[in-house]
Amino acid sequence: MKLDLAIEELHRSENELYTVLLSMSDRHKVDHEVFYVTRDMARWSEQHVAELAEAGREFGLELDPEAKHPAGLLESLQHKASELTGRRSAPGLLLLADLRHLYREAGGTALDWELLAQGAQGAKNKELLDFAERCQPQTLRVSTWAKAKLKESSPQVLAS
Amino acid sequence: MGRVDRIAEPWGSRTPYGPGENWPIRVDAYLDGGLTEDDVDRWVPSATILHSNGDGLDIAVKDGRIVGVRGRAEDRVNHGRLGPKDLFGWQANNSPDRLTRPLVRRDGELVETDWDTAMDAVVGKVHELLEEQGPSAIGFYTTGQLFIEDYYTLGLVAHGGIGTNHVDGNTRLCTATAAAALKESFACDGQPGSYTDVDSADVIALYGHNVAETQTVLWTRMLDRLAGPNPPKLVCVDPRLTPVAKQAAVHLAPRPGTNVPLMNALLHEILRNGWYDQAYVDAHAVGFDELQRQVEKYPPEVAAEICDVPVEQIREAARLIGTAERLLSTVLQGFYQSHQATAAAVQVNNIHIVRGMLGRPGCGLLQMNGQPTAENTRECGADGDLPGFRNWDNDAHVADLARVWNLEQIEIPHYAPPTHAMQIFRYAEQGSIRFLWIIGTNPAVSLPELRRIRSILGQERLFVVVQDIFPTETTELADVVLPAATWGEKTGTFTNADRTVHLSEKAVEPPGEAKADLDIFLDFARRLGLEDKDGEPLVKWSDPEGAFEGWKECSRGRPCDYTGLSYAKLRSRNGIQWPCNEENPDGTERLYADGKFWAAPDHCEEYGRDMVTGAPVTETEYKALNPDGKAIVKAAEYLPPHELPSEQYPFQLITGRTLYHFHTRTKTGRAPQLQAAAPEVWVEMSAGDAADRGLGEGDLLEISTPRGRVEARLRISGIRPGVVFLPFHYGYWDTADGGQPADGHGRAANELTLTAWDAVSKQPIFKTAAAAVRRLAESGGSPSAAPTTTASAPVTGSPPPTTGGRAAEAEELVGGTA
């Protein structure tokens, strides 16, 4: 039984997704929708991390239930940098790169949920399966958003 | 006939009526200084334009000047009545400080010039930018106050001719969530209900809709029902003690930013008690199971905690709504300009879907608008939608539009939804939009975070054109100012919040060299040399009626079908509801009778959006979700507001409106009766909060947020504790400082608001900011200037009542005949 490995890996990747979302938010403080929506979506990862820690206990794992927040100083520097470059067009390219990165991160995490769901099915663990099926759609919504935002933002960045 | 001080009595006299009866006629009129109807040369048909109600009226003309107005007894919307803004607001047309000549900026100063010079500057800049960068450099920010003919022509010129995706209006601030919520639930815009639903409803639920101040005549209709036999019960959701709240059987005053959990709790109770129509849901809706799962998590006890509302009140409200036999619901800015705007407004739709209360008399759903012609920006493609409710994500729809416009499909941008206003300003900030044409709106007062907006518009690298009727805070920042004609000075049609189309005729000539908006756009298209794919002029018309005929063709077969209307028909009977076509020659009172929707995948306007992220649903996903085009029940989870009170900023700030003013007061501030009724900005706070801080009525306070500070005198009102309210109407055009606050002494509420918007509708959030308050000076015995007749009524002391005296007396003829 290697479900513990799947949970551990998910715990790692949800933590990573949480960090990616929050640092992206900080880098794009002046792109207000990006700033707020990434924060709203980070709440899902935060919740997933807590629930994964809880689920892991059954498998003898001791995972930190608190998602790790990016360092405070870096965060405020990024805020400031974002504000200082708010009038430039280069952040447009940076936004596209960040959205592309987020799309892949969220896609990878969603795939990890898929793995967990499959494992849970194999082990006939209904509770774990329900958990995975409840959380995966939220992670998919992150990648859907990243793709939609990329689609919406790229024409203005690339054709101006 | 009686004379009534309509400042002191904004809703006039009662004409009570019972359920199912006709609303009695009462004709309201006001004529300039001592004139009588015998003095009037001509009466010119039109409708009201200082709100979204669309009340039919006649404009009185004497010696080539507008001298008054009179309600039209036969009009389906108002049965003769007019509100204070309609009775007195027209006087602004005659104001001596109208813009009468074009202005261009020379050496930093705006100087008068002629139309050729001004338009050459505009067209030259557009040519230059198209050459250098392409259409992505060009943006248009319009209004909710033009006519169909103007919007449709502008949409054609901008989307089709120039090929930019950057076209939106200030309707983004007032009506975007109404459209978005309808698109989420019915996959298409279009107001389901009718104002006549007031006549037979047994429960009226008003969600963040202070109808008494925003649509006074609609409230008059409700007051007359309340005064008659078997009156309806009202449910009011509003953090202020509004005139509606005072009449309500249940008044819920939730903490700002918590509308979604409140709505979820109401739905929780409705489902738990079986107050829904399972057969209707099975036959006509998708998504019900997800709603059940979601609202399961919000029993009234949970919502009571989040919203800080007594649990019994939530239960009682749910009981009234859930057991109503004819439920009318209306929604406005308290939901639209709040956190999770669309998610909350959609839950109101959900109530009507699960209860099967659509398309029948009394079972109305009214997602309201703020401005008179907001509906038309949505229909005509001037507000971030394609014309005729066409779906930007459906290639067949874009191909059809290209056919109507005789263009190649690639000429019409449809790579993403048309750019919304807040994003247009962001692109301008970033420098990729370099030409912004602002029409009939005043973003330097009405958009959030004004310091930012002023700095964007003030950039050297941004060419700003402003088309308006008065000098404003925004014209101060323009490179070119174009003087426009207004209501009464041009002909065109417009549609109110219940789909009623009125023809508004030209009554008088515009002042000086001011031109009709349509003529300005036609001139622009001509000078730019815009052509269709056969090399013919892109815009085929040269007058309003031609533009209307063009629009009719564009609307053919679409939900907002205008093909059954014409100027001739509207001249014989003004005020007809769309869709009006061969099938429905007299118009259509209610949409969605018998559970039929415009939601089929190949017909619908939008596939929907994610309620949290705003990401569009794809065509494939939509086809899987809703292949048969049913109503869509969309559930929503609660997210806490983005800015919460803190030790430093302990209050929640909400901004809003007052009965006597419209927008940034450019018109109402120039109508003496209206200006006198609410002459100066004020701030509202609850009695408990004021007592805790030792503050009294009339004290001069500083209200601050991380964005700025505003000074205002205190009115202790019936507002919810912990919340402060500022009216957003007051800017700087009538202060000594002109366009901007001097030395940070702001009075515009939007100095304080934050730049954030609903991810679904993109409507800015004006009702959830954290603020601090401190006293700058004691009142010295003089009260604030807040009206006493409205939601700003005092709850302590007795400031002098708001009256208008003889100057505000208007005629009232009860029972006048149609």
- The model's pLDDT over B577-633, given as tens digits with 9 standing for 90+, comes to 999 999 999 999 999 998 999 999 999 999 999 999 999 999 999 999 999 999 999
Looking at residue A80, which CATH number applies to its domain?
A: 1.20.1260.10
| Alpha-carbon gap: B293 to the closest alpha carbon of chain A (Å) | 12
Interface touch B432/A30, C-beta < 8 Å: no
What's the pLDDT score for residue B817?
52
By Cβ distance, the residue of A30, A88, A145 closest to B615 is A145
At CB < 8 Å, which residues of chain B contact A?
133-134, 136-137, 165, 413, 415-417, 419, 422-423, 426-427, 429-432, 610, 612-616, 639, 642, 755-757, 759, 762
Which residues of chain B are within 8 Å of residue A149 when distances are taken between CB atoms?
615
Asked if the ipTM is above 0.90, the reply is: yes
* Four-residue CA torsion sign, B478, B732, B172, B364: negative
Over residues B138-158, the pLDDT tens digits come to 999 999 999 999 999 999 999
B616 interaction partners in chain A (CB closer than 8 Å)? 148
Tokens of residue B366, six digits: 């009214």
Q: Which residue of A has its CA nearest to B609?
A: A145
CB B389 within 8 A of CB B507: no
- The type of residue at B324 is A
Mean pLDDT by 10 residues, chain B (818 residues): 94 97 97 93 97 97 98 98 98 97 96 98 98 97 96 97 96 95 97 98 98 98 98 98 98 98 98 98 98 98 98 98 98 97 98 98 96 94 90 96 97 91 96 97 96 96 98 97 98 97 98 98 98 97 98 97 98 97 97 95 97 96 97 97 95 97 97 98 98 97 96 98 98 83 84 96 95 96 96 94 96 77
The DSSP symbol for B157 reads I
Give the SS3 label for residue B29.
strand
B90 and B55 Cβ atoms separated by less than 8 Å: no
**Beta partners for B714?**
B683
Predicted pLDDT of residue B818: 43
Q: Nearest residue on chain A to B425, judged by CA atoms? A: A31
Chain B, nearest residue to A82 by Cα: B430
- Apex CA B251: angle with CA B248 and CA B255, to 5°? 155
Of B417, B431, B614, the CB nearest to A37: B614
DSSP designation for B158:
I
**How far does CA B796 lie from the centroid of its chain?**
32
**Tokens 């959900």 found at:** B350
Q: Report pLDDT for A79.
A: 66
Mean pLDDT of chain A: 91
CB B587 within 8 A of CB B577: yes
What residues of chain B lie within 8 A of the CB of A33, using their CB?
422-423, 614, 757, 759, 762
> What is the phi/psi pair of residue B809, to 5°?
-80, 125
Contact A149 B137 (CB under 8 A): no
Q: Is there a contact between A144 and B432 if contact means CB atoms under 8 Å apart?
A: no
The backbone torsions φ and ψ at residue B160, rounded to the nearest 5 degrees and listed phi first, read -85, -45
Per-residue H/E/C for B411-444: HCCCCCCCCCHHHHHHHHHHCCCCEEEEECCCHH
For residues B735 and B184, what is the distance between their CA atoms, to the nearest angstrom? 43
- CA B651 to CA B92: how far, in whole Å? 37
Q: How sure is the predictor about A91, in pLDDT bands with cuts at 50, 70 and 90?
A: confident
Q: pLDDT value at position B385?
A: 85
Task: Give the tens place of pLDDT for each residue, A23-47.
Answer: 999 999 999 999 999 999 999 999 9
Instruction: Find chain A residues with C-beta within 8 A of B260's C-beta.
Output: none
Facing residue for A160 by CB, picked from B136, B419, B615? B136
- Looking at the structure of chain A, the number of domains it has is 1
**C-beta atoms of B613 and A141 within 8 A:** yes
For B613, which of A41, A91, A157 is closest by C-beta distance? Answer: A41
Say if residue A82's pLDDT is above 90: no
- Helix runs in B187-310, H state only: 211-214, 216-227, 243-247, 259-272, 278-284, 288-296, 300-307
Residue A143's closest chain B neighbor by CA?
A: B615
φ/ψ of residue B464, rounded to 5: -110, 120
Task: Select from A32, A144, A152 the Cβ nearest to the Cβ of B756.
Answer: A32
Is residue B191 within 8 A of residue B366, CB to CB? The reply is yes
Enter the tokens of residue A22: 């929050």
Two structure tokens written together for B193: 């209900």
- C-alpha distance from B714 to closest chain A C-alpha (Å): 32
Spatial separation of the C-alpha atoms in residues B765 and B652, rounded to whole Å: 13
Phi, psi (rounded to 5 degrees) for B691: -65, -40
- Distance, CA of A121 to CA of A113 (rounded, Å): 12
Q: How far is CA A5 from CA A8, A63, A64, B292, in A?
A: 5, 12, 15, 34
A87 and B431 in contact by Cβ < 8 A?
yes
> Cα-flanking dihedrals φ and ψ of residue B780, to 5°?
65, 25
CA angle B439, B443, B448 (to 5 degrees): 150
Q: Give the integer Cα–Cα distance in Å for B817 and B79.
A: 10
Distances (CA, A) of B228 to B44, B595, B815: 34, 32, 16
DSSP label of B712 = E
Residue B384 has what pLDDT? 75
How many Å lie between the alpha carbon of B426 and the closest alpha carbon of chain A? 7
CB B607 within 8 A of CB B618: yes
Q: In terms of CA atoms, which chain A residue is nearest residue B129? A: A160
Which of A33, A89, A149 is facing B431, going by the closest CB pair?
Answer: A89
Dist CA B5 CA B3 (whole Å): 7
How far, in Å, CA of B39 to CA of A129, rounded?
Answer: 82
- Chain B residues touching residue A91 (CB < 8 angstroms): 430
**Residue B485: left if φ>0, alpha if ψ -120 to 50, beta else—which one?**
beta
Determine the distance in angstroms separating the CA of B510 from the nearest CA of chain A, rounded to an integer.
39
- pLDDT for A73: 56
**In one letter, which amino acid is A58?**
E
Calpha distance B683→B706 (Å, rounded): 18
State whether residue B576 is helix, strand or coil: strand
Residues of A contacting chain B (CB within 8 angstroms): 30-33, 36-37, 39-41, 43, 86-89, 91-92, 141-142, 144-145, 147-149, 151-152, 155-157, 159-160
Contact residues, chain B, for A39 at CB < 8 Å: 642
Tell me the C-alpha distance between B360 and B192, whole Å: 10
Q: Which residues of A touch B165 (CB under 8 A)?
A: 155
Place of tokens 């004020």: B682
> Which one-letter amino acid corresponds to residue B781?
G
Helix, strand, coil content of chain B in percent (nearest 5): 35, 20, 50
Q: Are A141 and B429 inside 8 Å of each other by CB?
A: no
How many of the other CB atoms lie within 10 Å of CB of B229? 10
pLDDT, position A74: 61
Q: Which residue has the tokens 């995706």?
A: B165
Q: Hey, what are B818's tokens?
A: 């149609």
CA B281 to each of CA B286, B330, B355, B357, B439: distance values in angstroms, whole numbers, following the listed order: 8, 22, 8, 11, 44
Residue B532, token pair as written in the block = 């269709």
pLDDT number for residue B815:
83
Residues of B in contact with A40 (CB under 8 A): 612-613, 639, 759
Report the b/e string of B634-659 with b at 16+ CB within 10 A: bbbbbbebbbebeeebebbbbbbbbb
pTM of the model: 0.96
Residue type at A66? E
Count the neighbouring beta carbons within 10 Å of the beta carbon of residue A73. Answer: 8
Full residue range of the structural domain in which residue A35 is found: 3-62+70-159
Pairs from A62-65 (Cβ < 8 Å, separation ≥ 24): A63/A7, A63/A8, A63/A11
The Cα B707–Cα B757 span in angstroms is 16
Check residues A1 and B468 and name the one with the higher pLDDT. Answer: B468
Please answer yes or no on whether B757 and A147 come within 8 Å at the CB atom.
no
CB contact under 8 A, B759 and A33: yes
Contacting residues of A for B133, CB less than 8 Å apart:
160
Q: What are the distances in angstroms from CA B309 to CA B209, B268, B352, B650? A: 18, 16, 23, 19
Q: Given B133, B426, B613, which is nearest A160 (Cβ)? A: B133
Give CA separation, B338 vs B208, B272, B419, B640, in Å. 9, 28, 21, 12
